[in-house]
Structure formats: C-alpha cells, structure tokens
Amino acid sequence: MTSDKVTPDHLRRRAIVYVRQSTVVQVLHNLESQRRQYNFAECQAVGLR
C-alpha cells in the first residue's frame, strides 16, 4: 500500500536507516515511549495512518 504522495522517484531512492540500541535503564524507564511505538506498529498493521 502506497500513498499518492509517494512517487516512483521516491521508491527508487536508497534509504538510510539509523538503529540505536537502548540501555536496560532506558528500556525500564521509558515505558510510555514503548507503548506509543507498539500502538503505532499496530495501527500500521491494520492500515491506519
């Protein structure tokens, strides 16, 4: 599923992905951020934006 805003030129471009590992302390103390990320992923899975 693509948006009308995504053009063929966009799809031809390479992506740069930055991955950062959280520390155990960050994981334990940032539960709200974790909940938002899981909710966002669930919305994407069912096609919501």
Question: What's the whole-number mean pLDDT along residues 11-36?
Answer: 89
pLDDT class of 5 with cuts at 50, 70, 90 = confident
- For the whole prediction, is pTM greater than 0.75? no
Q: Are 30 and 22 in contact (CB under 8 A)?
A: yes
Mean pLDDT of the chain: 86
The Cα-based distances of 26 to 2, 17, 19, 37 in angstroms read 34, 21, 15, 14
How long a stretch of residues is the chain? Answer: 49
